[in-house]
Amino acid sequence: MKVLAALSGGVDSAVAAARAVDAGHEVVGVHMALSRSRAQHRNGSRGCCSIEDASDARRAADVLGIPYYVWDLSEEFEDTVVADFLSEYEAGRTPNPCVRCNEHIKFAALLDRGLALGFDAVATGHYARIVDGEHGRELHRAVDSAKDQSYVLAVMGRERLERSLFPLGDVESKDVVRAEAAARGLSVSAKPDSYDICFVADGDTRGFLAARLGERPGEIVDSSGAVVGTHQGAYGFTVGQRRGLGITTPASDGAPRYVVATDPAANRVVVGPAALLSVDEITGGDVVWLAEPGPFQDVTVQVRAHGEPVAATVEVDGGTLVARLATPLRGIAAGQSIVVYRGTRVLGQASITSAARAGAVGAVR
C-alpha cells in the first residue's frame, strides 16, 4: 500500500512510520504545520507544533530513507480546532481540542488530502488497535492502557477507520517504543512527550481565552443566588473546577466549593458543594458510531481521555445518546466526549450536552 505517515516530530510517530516501512508499504512522511504563532514555534514550546518538531520529523524521515514533506494546515487548524475551542468555551462548554484535531485535521484534512493524491492509508503514532472483525474493522484500546488513545480517536468514524494504520497499538509500553527508536538510530528516542494544549504555548488556558475573547467581568454566586465573588469571564471556568475561583465569602460549613454550572448568557458562574457534581445520567449529541447503533446493556463509558471506564446502559433516540451509569461520576461538563466501549472495542462516541442525577430537577451544564 501507499501509506502517508504523519510525522509529528516525536518518538511515537517516528517508530510508527518505521514499522510501516518494515511492513513493506510505500511510505511518505508528512509533517503538519498547524500554527503561524511565533510563540508556539519558539524553542521550548509546551505543545506538539514547535519549529524543532518539524526539524526532528525531517531527521527521522532521513534515517528511515523516506520522502518527507511539510503541509501547511494552519488555516484549517485555526478555522476548525481553535475556532471550536473558543466558541465552545464562550458557550459555557468544555471542549477537548485533541478530539477535534483528530476529527478535522488528522483524519479529515490529512487523510482526505492523502486519498486525493493516491495514498491508500494514513499511519500515525496513536496508541490504539485496529482489529478485523466479523462485520469489518473495529477500533480497540491499545495493549498499553496507560497510553491508550482510543478515546480521542472514537470520533473518526467507520470510513476513516478503514483507511488508518496504528502500528503502535500492540506495544507493551512507551519504554519499548523508546528502545526501538534508539536501536533504529532515531534521535527522538529520548525526546520528552508533548503536553498541554498545543496552541496554548505557555499552558495558560484562561489567559489564552481572555486574549481572544476579551475580559467580561461578572458574578460568582452560590446555589441560593448569593454573590460570593467576581470573575473576568465565565468562559474561563468549567464544571468541577475548585482552584482559581476567587471566592471572597467562605461557605457556612467551611467545606470547599466547586463550579457546578456556568451561565454564559448571564455571564455568571455558580458554585456549590461537591455533592452537586455527582451525576449518573449523561446525554450527548453529534453521535458517531463505529459499530451498529445501540441500545446497549453490557457496556462501559468513558468521559475523559484517561478516565476510568464506568459500567452503563446506553439508549439512542435519533441523534441523541443517553447513558445511565451504574456508578455516579463527578464534574461532567457539557462539551466533553463520552465514548462507549464493549470490552476493549469502541462502539461510538457523542459530545456531552447535559448531565444530571436521575430524578433530580435540572441538569449540570
Burial (Cβ within 10 Å: 0-12, 13-18, ≥19) of residue 265: exposed
Residue 39 pLDDT: 47
> Residue 200 is placed in which grid cell?
496554548
CA atoms within 13 A on the CB side of 44: 2
| Separation of alpha carbons 103 and 121, rounded Å | 16
Residue 360 pLDDT: 54
Which residues, 6 or more positions from 233, have their beta carbon under 8 angstroms from its beta carbon? 206, 209, 210, 213, 214, 215, 216, 217, 218, 267
Residue 318 pLDDT: 82
| Separation of alpha carbons 280 and 359, rounded Å | 10
Residue 196 pLDDT: 65
Structural domains in the chain, sorted by start: 2-190 (3.40.50.620), 215-272 (2.30.30), 278-356 (2.40.30.10)
Phi–psi pair at 206, nearest 5 degrees: -65, -40
Q: Which residue has the cell 533504529?
A: 184
Active-site residue set: 101, 198
> Residue 302 is placed in which grid cell?
468513558
Q: Which residue has the cell 488556558?
A: 205
CB 85 within 8 A of CB 95: yes
Entry field: residues in the chain: 365
3-state class of 71 per DSSP?
A: strand
| Separation of alpha carbons 10 and 122, rounded Å | 17
* Partners of 317 in beta bridges: 320
Residue 247 pLDDT: 87
Q: What is the pLDDT along the chain (365 residues), one digit of tens a residue?
A: 999 999 999 999 999 999 999 999 999 999 998 876 544 444 444 455 667 788 999 999 999 999 999 999 889 999 999 999 999 999 989 988 988 988 888 888 888 899 999 999 999 999 999 999 888 899 999 999 999 999 999 999 999 999 999 999 999 999 999 999 999 999 999 888 876 688 887 788 889 999 999 999 999 999 889 999 999 999 999 999 998 898 877 788 888 999 999 999 899 999 999 989 999 999 999 999 999 988 999 999 999 998 999 999 999 988 899 999 999 999 899 999 999 999 999 999 999 999 998 755 444 44
Q: What is the DSSP string of 181-192?
A: HHHTT-GGGGPP
CB 246 within 8 A of CB 228: no
Q: How many degrees, rounded to 5, is the angle at CA 196 between CA 94 and CA 194?
A: 145
